[in-house]
Amino acid sequence: MPSFDIVSKVDVQMLDNAINVTRKEITNRFDFKDTVVEIELNKKDMKISLETSDDMKMRQLIEVLINRANKQGIAPNAFDQSKESYQSGKTVKQEIVVKNGLKQEDAKKITKMVKDAGLKVQTQIMDDIIRVTSKKIDDLQEVIQACKSGSFDFPMQFENMRS
């Protein structure tokens, strides 16, 4: 029976590459000359710690980071910027959490959307993966199109397509 998996994960190596390219670009930019800029990636917790001199530079730094990550194939909605930047002495700090893995409520949203579409498919939530099976591969392709057109605030990938 044809099936595929819906996952939400970020490749750590791609994220590391995006951060390195961001560091390189920031050091070459004139508006960041003689400015303290620190970008640290905690691979275990999937958090990015940013530090710079003021709020304007922080916004520019985040914009460059998201653009470089997007060019590396990481969706912009993979970054959770809900935490506000805060003043720490003479610098401004911010922590960005990278969304990795489907949360239970996100998996339920996807499953509900698929069931509401009225397609003859079965969905099964397995930890942070949703397995979708059907008798016809065309139904699976319709599920993929429905998921891509849906407005979710997390990135989705489709893998393990089997027929």
Identify whether residues 30 and 91 lie together within a single domain. Answer: yes
133 token code pair: 């099976």
Flag whether pLDDT at 60 surpasses 80.
yes
Identify whether residues 131 and 106 lie together within a single domain. Answer: yes
Q: What is the pLDDT of residues 75-103, one digit of tens each?
A: 998 999 888 888 888 899 999 999 988 88
Q: What is the pLDDT of residues 10-57, one digit of tens each?
A: 999 999 999 999 999 999 999 888 888 999 999 999 999 999 998 999
pLDDT of residue 98: 92
C-alpha neighbours within 13 Å on the C-beta side of residue 80: 10
Domain total in the chain: 2
Q: Looking at residue 56, which CATH number applies to its domain?
A: 3.30.70.990
pLDDT of residue 82: 85
Flag whether pLDDT at 72 surpasses 80.
yes
At which of 76, 98, 120 does a domain end? 98
Chain centre distance of CA 2 = 27
The residue range of the domain holding 109 is 3-8+101-162
Higher pLDDT, 69 or 101: 69
Identify whether residues 37 and 81 lie together within a single domain. Answer: yes
104 token code pair: 């239970």
| SS3 state of residue 45 | coil
Identity of the amino acid at 108:
K
Identify whether residues 62 and 20 lie together within a single domain. Answer: yes
- Are the beta carbons of 131 and 7 closer than 8 angstroms? no
Identify whether residues 26 and 62 lie together within a single domain. Answer: yes
Parallel, antiparallel, or unpaired: how do β-strands 3-7 and 157-162 relate?
antiparallel
- Are the beta carbons of 25 and 39 closer than 8 angstroms? no
Q: How far apart are CA 12 and CA 142, in angstroms?
A: 30
Q: How far apart are CA 47 and CA 29, in angstroms?
A: 24
Instruction: Work out the burial of residue 65: count CB atoms within 10 Å of its CB; fewer than 13 is exposed, 13-18 middle, 19 or more buried.
Output: buried
Average pLDDT of the chain is 90
Q: Looking at residue 132, which CATH number applies to its domain?
A: 3.30.70.860
